[in-house]
């Protein structure tokens, strides 16, 4: 019976909690896995809550910012992780019990859940019911979830591509980059990507259909490589890394170009961010540099889900995932994002069903 | 007879020419006034040229960039000044002779002319006929010319103000800033300006109707003064200065804010620009930072001229000019822009009629 959780069976619940606030480069030891118990039902009297069994957890770069201690107002403080409390982030799960009007036991959902085996979601409006169960469920941690919607909103709504545009995507084999680049191809653009290993560069060219790609770690001169790969300049730069890559791209923008500022993973572990010295050039070139985050675009999720599911079925968008098994593997998987250890979308599989 | 310049009388023509390319802070000695002669007519055979007697020259910050030696592609090289050749910039003049279909002797015009007494304009499509001769002619070097159109296009088209927006304008008593701030008031915004002397701050509050203003040279903590003057943050930052002011404003933008990047006068004389360290914050706040220049907006000049002339007649826009007399005064007037010596729109009067 829905909402009868006070009498429900109890189960073990392993969870990942932060041990301390992080400055500089995070390590696995900044988190720990602790074991608790959970009642497998929504407590009596909770009129709109959902008990979710978590199946897949998403590892996302923005989690790094939430590990730091913030001054008031610096970022949205409600998103910061709380020391000793289960980390909250996007995931895929199965509804075990629900008092929410639109979700019932057995439904598959994605949205904000916990880094633990079971989560009592008390704000179920942050959960989306999964409609395309014929596709791999794990895709809802990435291409059909937050990362995919981020790429779609950023590239299509902020970048406003035109056929023939020259597009540059950094961190291009990552969860957002791989989708942004493939959307650029669908839009008829010429797409160049950067990534941090030859293996990833090969993926960009052979699997994701980028026109060109380069390994930023083995290139000594970013200016030269951008001139070589994009001799006519850049119409849209989809920025996932910030820092020197952004600064160099600013020099190479074309008249009326757009810089879609999605993330700055190169900067998240620095005590002081790198200084950008080329912003002046946005004046003569009339370049728009626009920051955005997916929070402003969830209203278009339904349309996005249908469109993206179609691209996946037509193989216009392919997906590369990096999957680790078990909640004990989650801290290392998250840390790996910041050294680029992952190849493709990083996620943690807790259970499959 | 139009186009009979080969037989026309000759006149003295004093002109300002650059002596060398500039690095760092420019000085008067980087230019010199030389004396030549000019025939007071369009040469026979010139089918579309205009001989202009220059009445007012405009001193504009963007002239600094054109004094430097540029690598290919860094800025539009066609705009750079040529050593030993008369400097070209916006001015107001009277047509002496013309073979252009739409201009005849006696017409008053503004547009690209020379820093000299008489200029043979061979690209007269860059000249606009002055329609509101009942207003001070000198206004067409500023509020009714390039600076005014820059403020109008930047604030209205790029900034897209909404009633009640919190607006910050830097270099706010200057040619562009004073118009941007008054347009913000007309649009129903709350407007704060910064300037470099108490006299200018007083002008902002008492003459231009800014809600608040501060002297950035006497404030030791830019963060604190922005928090004090704009405690709820900034919806539109109209940036004329770049550097630390821009970097601090980035920290104080509101959700969905717009940074209209019009100029960076604090940076033009630096060997290496200051690094911007706060660009990350455009991501969580979804801030748009848009560079623009007036070059993309001349198509709206007619509409702008009518609207702005109306505001001036209604005294919704007032004008403060800093006028020096004679072409010998032009180099010092230009240099004065970079130390903020001028109070209001800097221009040079060559002749009045």
Among A68-72, B180-184, B246-250, whose mean pLDDT is lowest?
A: A68-72
pLDDT of residue B182: 98
What residues contact residue B236 under an 8 Å CB cut-off, 6+ apart? B155, B159, B161, B165, B166, B167, B168, B184, B189, B257, B258, B259, B260
Neighbours of A207 (CB within 10 A): 15
pLDDT of residue B40: 95
Taking the C-alpha atoms of residue B177 and residue B193, their distance in angstroms, rounded to an integer, is 8
Structure confidence by residue, pLDDT tens digits, B214-233: 999 999 999 999 999 999 99
Picking from B345, B329, B352, B335, the residue whose alpha carbon sits closest to that of residue B147 is B345
Structure confidence by residue, pLDDT tens digits, B276-320: 999 999 999 999 999 999 999 999 999 999 999 999 999 999 999
Q: What does the block give as tokens for A81?
A: 């992780």
Question: Could you tell me which chain B residue has the CA closest to the CA of A284?
Answer: B293
Give B72 or A111, the one with higher predicted confidence.
A111
Mutate to test the interface with B, among A70, A253, A284 (most CBs of B within 10 A): A284
Taking the C-alpha atoms of residue B103 and residue B91, their distance in angstroms, rounded to an integer, is 16
Structure confidence by residue, pLDDT tens digits, B27-58: 999 999 999 999 999 999 898 999 999 999 99
Over chain B, what is the mean pLDDT? 95
pLDDT of residue A1: 44
Taking the C-alpha atoms of residue B82 and residue B229, their distance in angstroms, rounded to an integer, is 44
Output the tens digit of pLDDT for each of chain A's 353 residues: 455 556 789 999 999 999 999 999 999 999 999 999 999 999 998 989 999 999 999 999 999 999 998 865 555 556 899 999 999 999 999 999 999 999 999 999 999 999 999 999 999 999 999 999 999 999 999 999 999 999 999 999 999 999 999 999 999 999 999 999 999 999 999 999 999 999 999 999 999 999 999 999 999 999 999 999 999 999 999 999 999 999 999 999 999 999 999 999 999 889 889 999 999 999 999 999 999 999 999 999 999 999 999 999 999 999 999 999 999 999 999 999 999 999 999 999 999 87
Q: Which residues of A touch B244 (CB under 8 A)?
A: none
Interface check for A22 against chain B (CB to CB < 8 A): the answer is no
Interface check for A276 against chain B (CB to CB < 8 A): the answer is yes
Question: Could you tell me which chain A residue has the CA closest to the CA of B75?
Answer: A284
Residue B283 to residue A263, Cβ atoms within 8 A:
yes
pLDDT of residue A8: 83
Among candidates A242, A278, A284 on the partner chain, residue whose Cβ is nearest the Cβ of B280: A242
Among A108-112, A346-350, B266-270, B343-347, whose mean pLDDT is lowest?
A: B266-270
Which residue ranges form the domains of chain A, and what is each CATH number? 5-142+319-349 (3.90.180.10), 146-295 (3.40.50.720)
Residue B280 to residue A273, Cβ atoms within 8 A:
yes
Residue B286 to residue A288, Cβ atoms within 8 A:
no
Taking the C-alpha atoms of residue B198 and residue B215, their distance in angstroms, rounded to an integer, is 6
Taking the C-alpha atoms of residue B215 and residue B171, their distance in angstroms, rounded to an integer, is 10
Q: What angle do CA B184, B187, B193 make, to 5 degrees?
A: 15
b/e map of A300-328 (b: 16 or more CB within 10 Å)? ebeebbebbbebbeeeebebbbbbbeebe
pLDDT of residue B335: 97
pLDDT of residue A74: 52
pLDDT of residue B1: 44
Residue A292 to residue B286, Cβ atoms within 8 A:
yes
Residue A284 to residue B76, Cβ atoms within 8 A:
yes
Look at strands A88-98 and A108-114 and give their pairing.
antiparallel
Instruction: Return the sign of the alpha-carbon dihedral for residues A328, A334, A338, A341.
Output: positive
pTM equals 0.94
**Left (φ > 0), alpha (ψ -120 to 50) or beta: where does B310 sit?**
alpha
């Amino acid at each position: 019976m829905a909402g009868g959780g006070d009498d429900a069976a109890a189960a073990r619940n392993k969870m990942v909690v932060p041990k301390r606030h992080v400055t500089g480069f995070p390590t696995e030891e900044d988190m720990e896995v602790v074991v608790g118990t959970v009642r497998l039902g929504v407590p009596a009297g909770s009129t709109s809550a959902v008990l979710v069994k978590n199946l897949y957890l998403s590892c996302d770069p923005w989690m790094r910012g939430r590990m730091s201690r913030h001054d008031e107002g610096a970022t949205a403080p409600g998103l910061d992780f709380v020391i000793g409390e289960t980390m909250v982030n996007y995931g895929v799960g199965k509804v075990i019990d629900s008092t929410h009007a639109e979700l019932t036991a057995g439904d598959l959902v994605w949205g904000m859940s916990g880094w633990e085996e079971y989560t009592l979601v008390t704000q179920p409006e942050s959960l989306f019911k999964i409609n395309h169960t014929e596709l791999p469920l794990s895709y809802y941690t990435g291409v059909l979830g937050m990362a995919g919607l981020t790429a779609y909103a950023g590239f299509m709504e902020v970048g406003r591509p035109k056929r023939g545009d020259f597009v540059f995507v950094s961190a291009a084999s990552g969860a957002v980059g791989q989708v942004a680049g493939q959307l650029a191809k669908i839009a008829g653009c010429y797409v160049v990507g950067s990534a941090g290993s030859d293996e990833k560069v090969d993926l960009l060219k052979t699997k994701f259909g980028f026109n060109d790609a380069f390994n930023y770690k083995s290139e000594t001169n970013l200016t030269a490589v951008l001139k070589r790969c994009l001799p006519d300049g850049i119409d849209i730069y989809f920025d996932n890394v910030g820092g020197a890559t952004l600064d160099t791209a600013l020099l190479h923008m074309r008249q009326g170009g757009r810089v879609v500022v999605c993330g700055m993973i190169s900067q998240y572990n620095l005590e002081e961010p790198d200084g950008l010295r080329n912003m002046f050039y946005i004046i003569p070139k009339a370049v728009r540099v626009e920051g955005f985050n997916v929070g402003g675009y969830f209203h278009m999720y339904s349309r996005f889900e249908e469109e993206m599911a179609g691209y996946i079925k037509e193989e216009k968008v392919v997906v590369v995932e990096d999957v680790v098994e078990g909640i004990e593997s989650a801290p290392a998987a998250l840390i790996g994002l910041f050294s680029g250890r992952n190849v493709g979308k990083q996620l943690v599989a807790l259970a499959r069903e």
